Structure 1
Amino acid sequence: MPHPARLLALAVLVAAALTDTRAAEVQVAVASNFSAPMRRIAAAFEAQTGHRALLSFGATGAFYAQIRNGAPFQLLLAADQETPARLEHEGAAVAGTRFTYATGRLVLWSAQPGVVDDKGEVLRQPGEGRIAVANPRLAPYGAAAVQALSALGLLQSLQPRLVQGENIAQAYQFVATGNARLGFVALSQVMEAGRIATGSAWVVPDSLHAPIRQDAVLLAAGKDNLAAAALVAYLKGAKAQAVIRSYGYQP
């Protein structure tokens, strides 16, 4: 009959092996606007499944270039629909895995209370101070900001005041640090517990720009990754969707 100590050691080894096969890591490229909710989602995901989501944040356009150049990302959470579709078409993503995980909202924001009115009329008032936008060629929120200014007939007159951030996170930093008086940022960056947390903001009407539908896609490098598959399923579930709504997105 085996010695009890040997049985215990064997049980520990079996448990470790089972844990190793169940728990995995997934490298996730996440659009900057989704940083706050994704951090919360990743923590809850790990607590529930044991899998770890290793997050990198940046501009969707920049992620596209990195993925095409061999960056080892396994899942992309983009700020648009076009980039995941393009990667899928080019064979860099797994066909049939694209889905919309959130629809974003654009806001005009100032770090100072009382600066931005509830109709965005501050844009029409004479004044100085820079207006931050994300690079419209790389960041969908930047493209939406340019579309909104064009629809308002203000793009040409405000062009000299615009300052571009590489992504929406940098546009937010310009405003938060006072380097820009106003900025077009993602609602998720300034919302907490269902309200604007600091400063003043105008939620830009959806009619002024194309919908900011944000798609996720499983990348070719993540085709056989258990954690990637589990995270895709988790993002579609009720717990993740509740977090997404709490940051002002439409899930």
Structure 2
Amino acid sequence: MPERKTRTAALAALLLGLAGAGMTGTARADEVLVAVAANFNAPLARIAQGFEARTGHQLKAAAASTGKLYSQIAAGAPFEVLLAADDETPAKLEAEGRAVPGSRFTYAIGELALWSAQPGLVDGQGAVLGSDRWKHLAIANPKTAPYGRAAMQVLRARGLEAAVAPRLVTAESIAQAHQFTASGNAQLGFIAWSQLSVPGQTPTGSWWRVPANLHEEIRQDAVLLKPGQNRPAATALLAYLKTEPAKAEIRAWGYRVPGEAAAPAKPGKP
């Protein structure tokens, strides 16, 4: 019962926040309510500018880990579109009847990076993971965040899972993993490459762009949720994500779009 009350309270808080931002279940037809994975929140804000200019619709978004967004949707949150950080959650929602069949597609393919705010700490092969030059490694919760699962796969591939476990700091989302690392509370962090590829900004610190063969491909799928069925703004957003202007923005933030090969790994700056 306590867990059920906690979920109910969390949903109530979410709906109150959405109402405060103009996001209610009775939103106008020209407004789309989007649940977006934390790693894609900043790119979506830029994409929203083009979407709104082109269509006249408005976009309102709430960001969290994909696992948390799933829980909110299952609890009745009135989101109309989900932009997940994986391809499993949208498929699950479709199978459960919470999403519109046939609306699911991959809008971006994410890449993982090992990052430190400290210049020179991370080398170009990620060998620092096996050293004693750091105390804490931040990762997103692998139970709810696809980038966290990918991070654990990298550690297993390197044979470091057991050795690193006592020094892991688990964040609620990839955004929080970045915060832990940026603050120095964790000397290393597995984050989304897109968090270092902010258009117009030069990355700081040091990093290793993790080779794609060390973890499962991070396919990020979009899906039309049942509340968005027959909602013009929701269907327009999904269509816009497939246009070249949206794809160009996605690439600019360090993602790939389906059909593009992964970039070769390069060392970070000292």
Same fold (TM over 0.5): yes
C-alpha separation between the residues in 2 aligned to 1:196 and 1:113?
A: 13
Residue 126 of structure 1 and its aligned partner are, at CA, apart by 1.7
In structure 2, what is the Cα distance between the partners aligned to 1:141 and 1:195? Answer: 22
Q: Does 1:163 align with 2:169?
A: yes
Q: Does 1:55 align with 2:55?
A: no
Residue 219 (structure 2) aligned to one of 213, 221, 225: 213
CA–CA separation in structure 1 for the residues paired with 2:219 and 2:207: 21
- Equivalent residue for 1:250? 256
Task: Please report the RMSD computed on the Cα atoms of aligned residues, expressed in angstroms.
Answer: 1.4
Contact 1:168 1:186 in 2 (8 A): yes
Deviates more, 1:74-83 or 1:126-135: 126-135
2:181, 2:188 within 8 Å by CA — same for their partners in 1?
A: yes
Matches within 5 A, 1:5-44: 24-44=30-50
Q: In the alignment, which residue of structure 1 is the partner of 2:192?
A: 186
| SS of 2:62 mapped into structure 1 | strand
For residues 81 and 59 of structure 2, the distance between their equivalents in structure 1, rounded to whole angstroms, comes to 10
**Partner amino acid, structure 2, of 1:248:** G
Structure 1: give runs of 5+ residues left out of the alignment: 1-21
- Tell me by how many angstroms 1:195 deviates: 7.8
**1:120 corresponds to which letter in structure 2?**
G
- Which shifted more, 79-88 or 44-53? 44-53
Structure 2 unaligned segments of length 5 or more: list them.
1-27, 258-270
Of all paired residues, the percent bearing the same amino acid is 58
SS class of match (1:133): strand
Matched positions, count: 230
Q: Is the 8 A contact 1:23 1:50 kept in 2?
A: no
Q: Which moved more, 1:130-139 or 1:48-57?
A: 48-57
SS in 2 for 1:216: strand
Work out whether residues 36 and 188 of structure 1, in 8 Å CA contact, stay in contact via their aligned partners in 2: no
Cα distance in 1 for residues equivalent to 2:192 and 2:235: 28
Bigger radius of gyration: 1
Counterpart residue number, 1:18: none
Q: How big is the shift at 1:193?
A: 3.6
**Which of residues 169, 175, 183 in structure 2 aligns to 1:177?**
183
Counterparts of 1:137 and 1:88, CA distance in 2? 20
User: In the TM superposition, what is the alpha-carbon distance from 1:23 to its structure 2 partner?
Assistant: 6.5
Q: Give the superposition deviation at 1:127.
A: 2.8
Aligned to 2:227, what secondary structure does the other structure show?
Answer: helix
| Alpha-carbon spacing, 1:197–1:128, altered in 2? closer, same or farther (3 Å) | closer
How far apart are residue 128 of structure 1 and its match? 3.4
Summarize deviations over 1:176-215 as a string: whole Å, max 9, x none: 1111100000011111348852211101111111000000
* TM-score of the two chains, using structure 2 as the length reference: 0.83
Helix, strand or coil at the partner of 1:40: helix
> Are the equivalent residues in 2 in contact too, given 1:107–1:204 (CA < 8 A)?
yes
Partner of 1:15: none
CA distance in 2, matches of 1:158, 1:217: 36
Displaced runs of 4 or more, over 4 A = none
The match for 1:150 among 148, 156, 169 is 156
For residue 181 of structure 1, what is the amino acid of its counterpart?
Q
**SS of the counterpart of 1:198?**
coil
Query: What TM-score, normalized to structure 1?
Result: 0.89
SS in 2 for 1:192: coil
In 1, distance between residues paired with 2:192 and 2:93? 24
Question: Does 2:146 correspond to 1:140?
Answer: yes
